């Protein structure tokens, strides 16, 4: 199989071809389909599996494996009974900014669907993370994240009732929690600790987000502090691995 003589920045080295030159048949088909996607453009319908099988002269299972990988990578998406070319991934900055701000910067419309807003006694495991007393009332806010009405993630926020006593009355679940804290309660964010890992969604999470359980997810754990250094919230957010990438700016030491 041919590959570029000059390495393209950001592309797999030698276009993913091993040094011995032998590659799986599905991968060769995958690269050909990927080139076809570039020609078709976002939102265009992909030929059927049968048509691709004839076009590339391979078995149907070979085409299916290639398509599975392109779906997992976010190059394709299901639309009704067909498959279409997906748009670019959403870039979410690793910064003290809300999901709303990140999505709007890319010209997309952010939204959220409320799953639950519960009040419960704070357990030991959570108490230390949000500087609460064991048994102190805590809110748990769970919402599906949307971008142009597409379900792209699932967010769980834990915060003490003492910090936001009227969350169940004054807060619009479709809006930014950070904007609510700032505009209504004059609480600003000063710092946060985050951890990112790759996971698979639970059956419940996959159902809420509308994805197959086998789709890799990017999981972010965040503990935020206010401008006075007090711990404010504990957030667990699942982002679809096929629809999101994360960006940050790293500066050298002076």
β-strand partners of 155: 143, 237
Q: Is 150 within 8 Å of 130 (Cβ atoms)?
A: no
Of the candidate ranges 20-34, 36-50, 53-67, 178-192, the one whose mean pLDDT is the lowest:
20-34
> CA-to-CA distance for 201 and 217, rounded, in angstroms?
7
The number of helix segments (H) and strand segments (E) in the chain equals 8, 10
What's this model's pTM, rounded to 2 decimal places?
Answer: 0.77
CA 252 – CA 254 distance, rounded (Å): 6
Q: How confident is the model at residue 14 (pLDDT cuts 50, 70, 90)?
A: low
Closest CA to 222 of 158, 153, 161: 158
User: Tens digits of per-residue pLDDT, 175-218?
Assistant: 999 999 999 999 999 999 999 999 999 989 999 999 888 889 99
User: Binning pLDDT at 50, 70 and 90, where does residue 3 land?
Assistant: very low
Cα distance between residue 142 and residue 144, in whole Å:
7
- Residues with Cβ within 8 Å of residue 129, at least 6 apart in sequence: 158, 223, 231, 234
Q: Provide the phi-psi class of 41: left if phi over 0, else alpha when psi is between -120 and 50, else beta.
A: left
Token pair, residue 137, equals 């009332």
Do residues 101 and 90 lie in contact, with contact meaning Cβ atoms separated by under 8 Å?
no
Tell me what the mean pLDDT of segment 48-74 comes to.
92
Sheet holding 137-147, edge to edge: 110-121, 137-147, 150-160, 231-240, 216-226, 189-200
Count of CB atoms situated within 10 Å of the CB of 214? 10
């Amino acid at each position: 199989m041919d590959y570029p003589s000059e390495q393209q920045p950001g592309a797999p080295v030698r276009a993913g071809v091993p040094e011995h030159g032998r590659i799986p048949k599905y991968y060769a088909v995958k690269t050909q389909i990927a080139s076809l996607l570039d020609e078709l453009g976002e939102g265009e319908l992909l030929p059927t599996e049968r048509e691709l099988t004839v076009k590339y002269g391979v078995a149907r299972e070979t085409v299916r494996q290639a398509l599975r990988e392109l779906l997992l990578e976010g190059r394709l998406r299901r639309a009704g009974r067909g498959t279409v070319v997906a748009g670019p991934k959403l870039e979410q900055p690793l910064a003290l900014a809300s999901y709303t701000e990140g999505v709007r910067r890319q010209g997309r419309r952010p939204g959220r669907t409320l799953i639950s807003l519960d009040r419960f006694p704070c357990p030991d495991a959570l108490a230390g993370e949000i500087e609460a007393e064991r048994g102190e009332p805590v809110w748990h806010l769970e919402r599906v994240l949307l971008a142009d009405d597409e379900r792209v993630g699932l967010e769980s926020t834990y915060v003490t009732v003492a910090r936001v006593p009227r969350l169940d009355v004054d807060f619009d679940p479709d809006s930014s929690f950070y904007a609510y804290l700032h505009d209504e309660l004059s609480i600003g964010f000063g710092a946060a600790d985050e951890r990112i890992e790759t996971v698979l969604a639970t059956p419940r999470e996959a159902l809420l987000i509308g994805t197959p359980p086998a789709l890799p997810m990017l999981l972010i754990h965040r503990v935020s502090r206010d401008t006075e250094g007090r711990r404010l919230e504990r957030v667990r957010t699942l982002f679809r691995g096929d629809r999101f990438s994360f960006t940050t700016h790293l500066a050298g030491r002076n």
